[in-house]
Amino acid sequence: MDEARWIAVDQYFERTLGLSDPTLEQALAASRAAGLPAHEVAPNQARMLQLFAQMCGARRILEIGALGGYSAICLARVLPADGELVTLEANPGHARVAADNIAKAGLADRVRIMVGDARASLARLREEDGDPFDFAFIDADKASNPFYLEATLALSRPGTVIVGDNIIRAGRIVDAAAREDADVRGVFEFFEQLGADRRVSATALQTVGEKGWDGFALARVL
């Protein structure tokens, strides 16, 4: 099995299950035209996130890492009319693209974009003392994953579902020498936290497809 076959299978899923649409395709095209990296989740992964959010009855969603707004659009679509998605983005240029894509998707009233360092944004959310988040998607710089996990837990409740993306690093997660890389080390420490923290029940899965060899961590707050 090779990467070309993985991609073909993902494309088959996309066609057969109707995983994309003109709005999502336009959001991707706008992101590419603006020079954003192609780091969005694949369409089948986006639908998985939607299903997870629906399964836990999410009314309030936290996303760390907006990029061009693709996953925010997918998640905001399954929110109730009075629901809210808060997405954090450090890069002002990326945030502008995300805001435009989200507005064109008709979801600006359900999505709040916080621009700036995620650590500061997460601290602001703590200070606001709003309702806890029901679902969280962590998909930003991997070196900061341990911090993001702890901050997300502080904004959660029993039953909150937390998903972490890009956690396999093409298998480098089990290579001790690769932990000299800040992103690999961040993911490794993230897993160590998940395994030791009695506040969560967690698992992880590997994926292959158009995004290569990677995977997700999945946790539920107890």
Q: Is 188 exposed, middle or buried (0-12, 13-18, 19+ CB in 10 A)?
A: buried
The 10s digit of each residue's pLDDT in 129-140 is 999 999 999 999
Instruction: Residues 3-221: name the CATH superfamily.
Output: Vaccinia Virus protein VP39 (3.40.50.150)
User: Residue 1 — very low, low, confident or very high, per pLDDT cuts 50/70/90?
Assistant: low
User: What per-residue confidence (pLDDT) applies to 34?
Assistant: 98
Distances (CA, A) of 64 to 33, 180, 208, 212, 221: 23, 24, 23, 22, 18
The answer, yes or no, to whether residue 12 has pLDDT greater than 90, is yes
Q: Return the domain boundaries, the chain.
A: 3-221
Q: What is the pLDDT of residue 4?
A: 93
pLDDT greater than 80 at residue 155: yes
Mean pLDDT for 41-52 is 98
